[in-house]
Amino acid sequence: MDFQKIWGTIKSGVKVFWQWLKPYLIQFHHWRKRIWKKYYVNKILLLLGLVFVLVSSIYLYTLAKASNVSALKSGMTQTTKIYDAKGEEAGSIYANKGTYVELDQISPYIQDAVISTEDRNFYNHHGYDIKGIARAAVRMVTSGGTSGGGGSTITQQLAKNAFLSLDQTFQRKAKELFMAIEIEKKYSKEEILTMYLNNAYFGNGVWGVQDAARKYFGVDANQVTIGQAATIAGMLKGPSIYNPIDHPNYATDRRATVLSVMVENKKITQEEADQETKVDMASMVHDTYQNSSSDYRYPYYFDAVIDEAVNTYKLDEKDIMNNGYKIYTTLNQDYQKQMEATYQNEALFPPNAADGAMVQSASVALDPKTGGVVGLVGKRGEHVFRGFNFATQMRRSPGSTIKPLSVYAPALESGYKPDSVLKDEPQTYYDAKNYDGTYQGEVPMYQAVAQSLNLPAVWLLHEIGLQKGYDKAEEFGLSLSKSDNYWGLALGGLEHGESPLTMASAYSAFANGGKQYTPHLITKIVDSEGVVLVDNTKVKSKQVVSKDTADEMTSMLLGTFSNGTGVQANPYGYTVAGKTGTTETNFDATKANDQWIVGYTPDVVISTWMGFEESSADHYIEGTSGSVVGQVFKAQAEGILQYTNNTSFAVADAYQTGGQVVAADEVNNQEDSSDKWKEDVSDFGEKAKEGIKDFGGKVKDGLDKAGNKLKGFWNDLTGG
């Protein structure tokens, strides 16, 4: 760069600017002379300037203090871990950090090369370099903005990498400066250099000098040659451009530059630099780096944990990934493993569409007693880090699974009973029909629920009032739009729809005596120094419906799996309650866009959805919910329920009682009494048979005796 030429350009520009500004300054000077003394404008302007500087300094100082500089080192040396509901380690977060090594494990050549090129006054300043800032200011002026960068010390770069974004703005530069001062107060120069070298990025997914040495030269960081050290240091300026694997020519030129600077700073001799410059870069490259698994064991569950930390608790993803947090969750690893095993079984899912599109599905398992998500699978196919999660982010029409929420629960609250008779016939105010196209005229509520009949649901919503159904669905946590306030609300025809997580949460009220807890995955987050950042151990709950209403609803929903649309999905050996749901395509009522099934016991709620990512004339599902998505639900439930307490339902299946709400143990006792009566009748019959047999024997004996006497009397008369 020709500095004289640049300086001449600056002088010419300043001269032109001055000629333009001078007349205005003269006018301002005359105006100032007239009123200056009267209004003390000079003092006011000076005071305003000082106030601005003071306020800015206080803001930046406060920001630096709030950055938790004290946890910087511990965060770098520790990995963020996720713990399950039992407090056992479940895995670790995928982090942008490499193998952390102490300074004595890093070659002095690397240290000298980095200090020479990045911050030659590193050991003499207090986090900032006035000369460097001045040089950067000149570059900013000549480039017309902040894009020129530079002027940052190693401490400032560490602050930027650890706490700030990479954008080149005056605000970021100011924050960087104040944070660097705080870092210098807390750590020694050796600690700062160690953290910087372990936290720097070197391209090809490699962080830190130890992994960089392994990736590019096949040696540890304490074994590199001078030339290799210069190459590693050179990559800091642009890891994607100057790494020797992708761009060996650029890396060679950059190495020569670093070596010359090291000579200038008297870290090596010219002879050493010349010798290293002659070494062919390609001949040095040897990749022995092995990316240690991050143990991202349950990818979709962990994705949802990060999403909740970012969206609900406003934590920064970068901090979560890199600062060595301990994240405690509601995860049940036994449940999660069973769910993931189900989703690995391709035989449970329909084949791909003709164009290769995969049928998607997602499931959530939730503890109704706490609202904690105990298991979650967000998608089929290849996992993409924090990609779209159907279990938590999807919004699709829930179909008939909405009926208990928007129709039957509010109807029960309005005085209806499971054995109440409903109209099962077409209505003039809304065009609807049952799945099979038939209707019966009248049907008891518990059968309408189990058989998922549409016409009785629409009629009943009309009877109790549309607004009552709409309000109750919102109480259950459904995110309805104003356009959803119509009769189609009875059948799940929503503008946007819901996720499996939302539906699992809604049904948890039926499983938990009408009480619903806020659904969540995180219970606590602790930073690397033990400071509690998030405490969600006391989760809020609300009484959505009464216990009596929840019991009445459960008695009907048990019929779904015993006599209704979910018979094929009933997990073998277990009793569950719940509801199926389907949304039809707009071209064929026998084909579905979405299939749902939500099932529960007092211990767990499982919500499963299936459908294509984009529904179309070529992307649809054939078959009923019970026979298609129901098989995924069934497999999961059979796997999960074996690990639960197998808590029994408090009420009996309405099909057993003709719609009467009866305690489960009473029905069992009645069954036992009936069996005893049968045994008593059998015993009585046997005893009666024995009595008759005994009576007949006695009669026979009596007749024999009488016959013998008559026979003797006759012989006496005849002399025989």
Residue 690: the pLDDT is 44
Residue 507 near residue 607 (C-beta atoms within 8 A): yes
Query: Residue 661: inside a domain, yes or no?
Result: yes
Q: Kindly report the CATH number assigned to the domain that includes residue 628.
A: 3.40.710.10
Q: Kindly report the CATH number assigned to the domain that includes residue 112.
A: 1.10.3810.10
Regarding whether 139 and 57 lie in a shared domain, the answer is no
pTM comes to 0.76
Query: Residue 553: inside a domain, yes or no?
Result: yes
Query: Residue 388: inside a domain, yes or no?
Result: yes
Q: Report the amino acid identity of residue 517.
A: Y
Beta strands (DSSP E) in 105-192 are none
Give the three-state DSSP class for 306.
helix
CA 341 – CA 632 distance, rounded (Å): 11
Helix, strand, coil abundance in the chain, percent, nearest 5: 50, 10, 35
Residue 461 near residue 490 (C-beta atoms within 8 A): yes
Regarding whether 691 and 657 lie in a shared domain, the answer is no
DSSP code, position 487:
G
Q: Which residue(s) pair with 364 in the sheet?
A: 376, 607
Both tokens assigned to 139: 């570059």
Max Cα-Cα span within the chain: 180
Is pLDDT above 70 for 401?
Answer: yes
Give me the mean pLDDT over the 545-570 stretch. 97
Query: Residue 365: inside a domain, yes or no?
Result: yes
Both tokens assigned to 616: 């179309």
Q: Percentage of the chain surpassing pLDDT 70? A: 80
CA 29 – CA 291 distance, rounded (Å): 68
CA 466 – CA 387 distance, rounded (Å): 38
Query: Residue 294: inside a domain, yes or no?
Result: no
Residue 189 near residue 123 (C-beta atoms within 8 A): yes
Distances (CA, A) of 405 to 77, 127, 445, 478, 509: 49, 61, 14, 9, 10
Least confident piece of the model among 48-62, 646-660, 704-718: 704-718
Residue 687: the pLDDT is 42
Q: Percentage of the chain surpassing pLDDT 90? A: 62
Query: Residue 422: inside a domain, yes or no?
Result: yes
Average pLDDT over the chain reads 85
Least confident piece of the model among 102-116, 153-167, 218-232: 153-167
Regarding whether 554 and 532 lie in a shared domain, the answer is yes
Regarding whether 413 and 370 lie in a shared domain, the answer is yes
CA 120 – CA 154 distance, rounded (Å): 9
Residue 703: the pLDDT is 46
Q: Other CB atoms closer than 10 Å to residue 718's CB: what's the count?
A: 7
Total structural domains within the chain: 4
Range 471-475 contact pairs with CB under 8 angstroms and sequence separation of 24 or more:
471/410, 472/405, 472/406, 472/409, 472/410, 472/413, 473/402, 473/405, 473/406, 475/542, 475/544
Query: Residue 296: inside a domain, yes or no?
Result: no
Residue 673: the pLDDT is 42
Regarding whether 379 and 246 lie in a shared domain, the answer is no
Residue 51: the pLDDT is 72
Q: Is 265 exposed, middle or buried (0-12, 13-18, 19+ CB in 10 A)?
A: middle
Residue 554 near residue 585 (C-beta atoms within 8 A): no
By C-alpha distance, which of 122, 98, 267, 116 is closest to 188?
A: 122
pLDDT tens per residue, range 580-597: 999 988 888 788 999 999
Regarding whether 276 and 321 lie in a shared domain, the answer is no
Least confident piece of the model among 148-162, 258-272, 520-534, 618-632: 148-162
Considering the candidates 67, 92, 116, 118, report the single residue annotated as catalytic: 118
CA 464 – CA 483 distance, rounded (Å): 19
Regarding whether 685 and 632 lie in a shared domain, the answer is no
Confidence of residue 720 (pLDDT cuts 50, 70, 90): very low
Give the three-state DSSP class for 275.
helix
Regarding whether 85 and 13 lie in a shared domain, the answer is no
Is 671 an active-site residue? no
Residue 147: the pLDDT is 45
pLDDT tens per residue, range 179-234: 777 888 888 999 989 989 998 889 888 889 999 999 999 999 999 999 999 999 99
Least confident piece of the model among 23-37, 190-204, 283-297: 23-37
Regarding whether 121 and 60 lie in a shared domain, the answer is no
Give me the mean pLDDT over the 477-489 stretch. 96
Polymer length of the chain: 720
Query: Residue 190: inside a domain, yes or no?
Result: yes
CA 331 – CA 302 distance, rounded (Å): 10
Give me the mean pLDDT over the 675-690 stretch. 41
Residue 62: the pLDDT is 60
CA 623 – CA 569 distance, rounded (Å): 13
Give me the mean pLDDT over the 559-580 stretch. 97
Is pLDDT above 90 for 171?
Answer: no
* Domain boundary, last residue among 253, 283, 313: 283
Distances (CA, A) of 510 to 179, 344, 374, 562, 563: 52, 30, 18, 18, 19
* Structural domain harbouring 495: 79-90+303-669
Residue 69: the pLDDT is 65
Is pLDDT above 90 for 306?
Answer: yes
Range 237-245 contact pairs with CB under 8 angstroms and sequence separation of 24 or more:
237/117, 239/201, 239/202, 239/203, 239/204, 240/203, 243/202, 243/203, 243/204, 243/216, 244/216, 244/281, 244/282, 244/284, 244/285, 245/203, 245/204, 245/215, 245/216, 245/285, 245/287
Least confident piece of the model among 90-94, 151-155, 331-335, 388-392: 151-155
Considering the candidates 400, 505, 607, 625, report the single residue annotated as catalytic: 400
DSSP code, position 648:
P
CA 550 – CA 577 distance, rounded (Å): 12
Is 118 an active-site residue? yes
Regarding whether 352 and 274 lie in a shared domain, the answer is no
Regarding whether 504 and 567 lie in a shared domain, the answer is yes
Regarding whether 465 and 403 lie in a shared domain, the answer is yes
